[in-house]
Amino acid sequence: MKIGIVGGTGGMGKGFTLRWCINHDILIGSRDASRATSAAEEYAKLANEIYGKVNGTIKGNDNLSIAKEVDVLILSIPYENIDSTCSQILSQIKDSCVVVSPIVPMVKTELGFEFIPLKENKPFSYQLVSKYMKNKTKLVSAFHVISEKKLVDPNLSLDYDIFVCGDDTNSVKIVNELINEIKGLRPIYLGPGSLSYFAEMATPLLLNAMIKNKLKNPGIKIV
Ligand SMILES: NC(=O)c1ccc[n+]([C@@H]2O[C@H](COP(=O)([O-])OP(=O)(O)OC[C@H]3O[C@@H](n4cnc5c(N)ncnc54)[C@H](OP(=O)(O)O)[C@@H]3O)[C@@H](O)[C@H]2O)c1
């Protein structure tokens, strides 16, 4: 499978790449093609050091170019940039492409971490991205509560749940499989995309719990 990562030069993009390059071809996207190429080279070198040999390739290009050719597209960009980025690329993806939003609408204030849609009466990420989708059922929300620090180190032992929301059974299945490929992660389906705010809200909840209680590396696990 070809997996594209818009904003793949960031921490999450690096983590996704190092996890999924074992079995898939990864295309790193950036606003700047040369930045994407440099990141891809760096990740390929790291993957080689970690695993020796992987089945997938890691390449980089501008966000639009990679978005046009992939089977799964991860939107690894800040909430504030959804409009400017998605309006350019989502009309150009393949009809079969599954789009994944890990985007957390969160801001740090004097109280702690707060959820922007509640604080500022704005749409949650899934709502905002879905405005730009030709086929809205291909959008799946996932990966909000796993930190980049845990993804980038394949030697860390993980035991966490990942909330998943989406409307199309097959698209959700594809994302569930990608979650299952990361050892120690379990997909937990929460419901349709319109309930994605529950998953998005879990991140500020987790970060506040971590900071106020001095917890180290917390994650979410339903028992
Ligand atoms: N970090 C975490 O642990 C974590 C955990 C769960 C979920 N998330 C979510 O995952 C997403 C990615 O997280 P991240 O920490 O990797 O984000 P990030 O490092 O802040 O940004 C990712 C990439 O977004 C691109 N970007 C920055 N400003 C932009 C703009 N104005 N327009 C378009 N693209 C822009 C940059 O790529 P270029 O400059 O190369 O274009 C950057 O490398 C976020 O939505 C975050 O809420 C993060």
Strand partners, 6: 75
Q: What is the pLDDT at residue 217?
A: 78
Strand 72-75 with 106-108, pairing: unpaired
Using the mean position of ligand 1's atoms as its centre, give its distance from the Cα of residue 151 in Å: 15
Buried/exposed code over 157-189 (b: 16+ C-beta within 10 A; e: otherwise):
ebebbbbbbbbbeebbebbbebbeebeebebbe
Which domains can be identified in the chain, with CATH numbers? 2-212 (3.40.50.720)
Print pLDDT tens along the chain (223 aa). 999 999 999 999 999 999 999 999 999 999 999 999 999 999 999 999 999 989 999 999 999 999 999 999 999 999 999 999 999 999 999 999 999 999 999 999 999 999 999 999 999 999 999 999 999 999 999 999 999 999 999 999 899 999 999 999 999 999 999 999 999 999 999 999 999 999 999 999 999 999 999 998 789 999 9
Check: CB of residue 129 under 8 Å from CB of residue 75. Answer: yes
- The DSSP letter of residue 195 is G
Using the mean position of ligand 1's atoms as its centre, give its distance from the Cα of residue 223 in Å: 31
With a 6 Å cutoff on the Cβ, whether 9 touches ligand 1 is: yes
Using the mean position of ligand 1's atoms as its centre, give its distance from the Cα of residue 12 in Å: 7
Q: Return the SS3 of 159.
A: coil
With a 6 Å cutoff on the Cβ, whether 125 touches ligand 1 is: no
Q: CA distances (Å), 56 to each of 23, 24, 107, in order?
A: 5, 4, 36
With a 6 Å cutoff on the Cβ, whether 10 touches ligand 1 is: yes
Nearest CA to ligand 1 atom 46: 103
CA atoms within 13 A on the CB side of 186: 9
Q: CA 153, CA 19: separation in Å to the nearest integer?
A: 9
